């Protein structure tokens, strides 16, 4: 029997602290549902005291996602802990995660508290949380820069106070694998009651060592790892869930550990998180980068075909990428399309969404010979996560060239009226965005714009991601088309619709 490692996902909490990322309630709920399908043991849903939006998201996830433990984060204060409990109490398996910094530098500069007071506060607040919730986790923030003797005292105290899990964060990503492994071993040797709690780790990636540090901790007795999809998180991010899980699976011979993750859902989860956060996965990223399973060198290709294990240490199928899948085309009917959706893991789509996606698929098939899985995923993601289209782009015409001023004319329809507007700009995309702003009467700050090709070839789909900002809130959206200006217009329109919907209707 190999040892079970608990996977604690913090995509929705630390991951949401990624610069430029802001998820709304329904996006967080979709991700939480997908994390459940992926088989994570614990979902950290948010920090309820931080904002009304965070509170409502944690509450909604607690009410709707049954099975995994749902966690709410709280600083070591009564107000934070009460807010966490009010939001998370609806969960089948709720947990409150209390944290306070324990390193000299944090206690002196941030908390302005003496170590003795920090020790008492940690004890008292874990006790307070434990009176409310059956499961309590405690984190000494900046543990790796904390004086070891003080850290041992704090851990012993919080376990006495009832903490079920003690989590050791490398908050600033300062540790190295050898050091961190030894640190965990020493905690096991020096905290007398450590066996009464689950020992967890939470590593940041400032030096690119988060996964290596987490694995070193597992080798030295950690039973839970905190990580996030695609390694999202504060600054350089957290340890990437998919890398830890696939390392434990591929190198089971070495680690003698296992997780309960259904690895065939990794690709879909990564794709969804990237789509909803607007944070692209770098192509050479381990496990989920587009190049992770690609073989370029032709002599390698032959060897891979003949003897897979020559260059492949794991299969693309093991993370849910279908190899040799049938490419759809304009001759494919609705049954073929639905079948493919199921194979790609979209088995719970509403009929109306399938109808819309199928319509888009047919329109695309008229322009493109072979429709790949990536194309289908892009179409479906666009459909699945679309908010009501208050403003609809009916028509777009652009004039552009190297010696004329770009002009864009748009027709935008709302429930009541149709508006025609035109604008000039610095290039066709700029002109189109200006025309849309005039037509909708909404002006925004464009924070980010990037264009990607989905797949390859001259007829590849262009996928545009835009991030717009209004009143300090960021809204990210995508648009796809074989025409990049149209893809840009769709992305911009989707972002405006999203902003309109969330600010005006369900202000969270
Ligand atoms: O990095 C950190 O220290 C944290 C704690 C709140 C666990 O995210
Ligand atoms: Zn963190």
pLDDT in tens, the chain (508 residues): 899 999 999 999 999 999 888 898 989 999 999 999 999 999 999 999 999 999 999 999 999 999 999 999 999 999 999 999 999 999 999 999 999 999 999 999 999 999 999 999 999 999 999 999 999 999 999 999 999 999 999 999 999 999 999 999 999 999 999 999 999 999 999 999 999 999 999 999 999 999 999 999 999 999 999 999 999 999 999 999 999 999 999 999 999 999 999 999 999 999 999 999 989 999 999 999 988 987 655 556 566 666 667 778 999 999 998 765 667 888 999 999 998 888 887 877 888 889 989 998 999 898 888 898 888 988 888 887 788 899 999 999 999 999 999 999 999 999 999 999 999 999 999 999 999 999 999 999 999 999 988 877 778 899 999 999 988 888 899 999 999 999 999 999 999 999 998 887 544 4
142 touches 105 (CB < 8 A): yes
Distance CA 374, CA 99 (A): 41
Closest CA to 324 of 350, 341, 305: 305
Alpha carbon 30 to chain centroid, angstroms: 11
For the 392-506 domain, the top CATH level (class) is: alpha beta
Q: Do β-strands 136-141 and 94-101 pair in parallel, antiparallel, or remain unpaired? A: parallel
4 CA distance to ligand 1 centroid (A)?
A: 23
Handedness of CA 504, 505, 507, 508 (dihedral sign): negative
97 CA distance to ligand 2 centroid (A)?
A: 12
* Residue of 137, 204, 206, 232 with the most ligand 1 atoms within 8 Å of its CB, for mutation: 204
Closest-CA residue, ligand 1 atom 1, reads: 171
Alpha carbon 204 to chain centroid, angstroms: 15
Fold of 3-277: TIM Barrel (3.20.20)
Closest-CA residue, ligand 1 atom 2, reads: 171
Give burial (CB, 10 Å; 0-12/13-18/19+) of 505. Answer: exposed
Distance CA 251, CA 197 (A): 27
Distance CA 266, CA 264 (A): 6
Can you give the residue ranges of every domain in the chain? 3-277, 392-506
169 CA distance to ligand 1 centroid (A)?
A: 6
- The DSSP code for 213 is H
Identify the bridge partners of residue 69 per DSSP, sorted by sequence position. Answer: 42
Ligand closest in space to the Cα of 238: 2
* Residue of 122, 166, 169 with the most ligand 1 atoms within 8 Å of its CB, for mutation: 169
Identify the bridge partners of residue 468 per DSSP, sorted by sequence position. Answer: 446, 475
| Residues near ligand 1 (Cβ within 6 A) | 14, 99, 139, 141, 169, 171, 202, 204
Strands (E), 320-425: 392-399, 406-413, 418-425
Q: What is the CA radius of gyration of the chain?
A: 25
Closest CA to 294 of 456, 483, 441: 456
240 touches 287 (CB < 8 A): yes
Ligand closest in space to the Cα of 171: 1
Q: Do β-strands 42-46 and 69-75 pair in parallel, antiparallel, or remain unpaired? A: parallel
Determine the longest span between alpha carbons in the chain, in angstroms: 77
Ligand closest in space to the Cα of 239: 2
Closest CA to 290 of 374, 212, 370: 374
Closest CA to 372 of 334, 335, 314, 332: 332
Backbone phi and psi for residue 8, each to the nearest 5 degrees, phi listed first: -105, 115
Distance CA 224, CA 71 (A): 14
Rounded to two decimals, the pTM is 0.89
What's the distance, Cα to Cα, between the start and end of the chain in Å? 47
Distance CA 457, CA 402 (A): 25
The pLDDT value given to residue 382: 81
Q: Is 202 annotated as a binding residue?
A: yes
Closest CA to 231 of 478, 472, 50, 21: 21
Distance CA 24, CA 20 (A): 13
């Amino acid at each position: 029997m190999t040892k079970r490692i608990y996977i604690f996902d913090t995509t929705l909490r630390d991951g949401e602290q990624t610069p430029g990322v802001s998820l709304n309630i329904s996006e967080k709920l979709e991700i939480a549902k997908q994390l459940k399908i992926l088989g994570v043991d614990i979902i950290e849903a948010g920090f309820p005291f931080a904002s009304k939006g965070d509170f409502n998201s944690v509450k909604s996830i607690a009410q709707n996602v049954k099975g995994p433990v749902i966690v709410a984060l709280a600083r070591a204060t009564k107000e934070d802990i009460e807010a966490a409990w009010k939001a998370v109490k609806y969960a089948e398996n709720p947990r409150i995660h209390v944290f306070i910094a324990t390193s000299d530098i944090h206690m002196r500069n941030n908390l302005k508290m003496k170590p003795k007071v920090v020790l008492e506060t940690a004890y008292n607040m874990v006790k307070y949380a434990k009176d409310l919730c059956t499961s309590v986790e405690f984190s000494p923030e900046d543990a790796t820069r904390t004086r070891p003797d003080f850290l041992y005292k704090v851990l012993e105290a919080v376990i006495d106070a009832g903490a079920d899990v003690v989590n050791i964060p490398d908050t600033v990503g300062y540790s190295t694998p050898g050091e961190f492994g030894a640190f965990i071993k020493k905690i096991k040797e020096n905290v007398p009651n450590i066996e009464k709690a689950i020992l967890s780790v939470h590593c940041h990636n400032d030096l690119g060592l988060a996964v290596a540090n987490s694995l070193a901790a597992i080798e030295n007795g950690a039973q839970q790892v905190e990580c996030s999809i695609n390694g999202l998180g504060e600054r350089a991010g957290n340890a990437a869930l998919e890398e830890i899980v696939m390392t434990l699976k591929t190198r089971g011979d070495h680690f003698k550990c296992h997780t309960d993750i259904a690895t065939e859902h990794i690709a879909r989860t990564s794709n969804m998180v990237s789509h909803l956060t607007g944070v692209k996965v770098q192509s050479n990223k381990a496990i989920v980068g587009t190049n992770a399973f690609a073989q370029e060198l032709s002599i390698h290709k032959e060897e891979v075909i003949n003897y897979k294990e020559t260059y492949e240490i794991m299969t693309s199928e093991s993370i849910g990428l279908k190899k040799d899948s049938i490419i759809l085309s304009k001759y494919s009917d609705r049954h073929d399309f639905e079948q493919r959706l199921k194979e790609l893991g979209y088995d719970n789509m509403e009929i109306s969404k399938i109808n819309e996606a199928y319509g888009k698929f047919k329109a695309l098939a008229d322009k493109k010979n072979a429709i790949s899985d990536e194309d289908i995923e892009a179409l479906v993601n666009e459909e699945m996560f679309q908010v009501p289209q208050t403003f609809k782009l009916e028509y777009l015409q652009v004039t552009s060239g190297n010696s004329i001023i770009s002009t864009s004319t748009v027709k935008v329809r709302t429930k009541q009226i149709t508006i025609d507007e035109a604008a000039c700009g610095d290039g066709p995309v700029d002109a189109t965005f200006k025309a849309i702003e005039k037509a909708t009467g909404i002006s925004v700050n464009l924070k980010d714009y990037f264009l990607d090709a989905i797949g390859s070839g001259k007829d590849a789909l262009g996928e545009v991601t835009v991030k717009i900002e209004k009143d300090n809130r960021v809204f990210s959206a995508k648009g796809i088309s074989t025409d990049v200006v149209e893809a840009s217009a769709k992305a911009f329109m989707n972002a405006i619709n999203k902003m309109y919907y969330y600010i005006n209707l369900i202000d969270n």
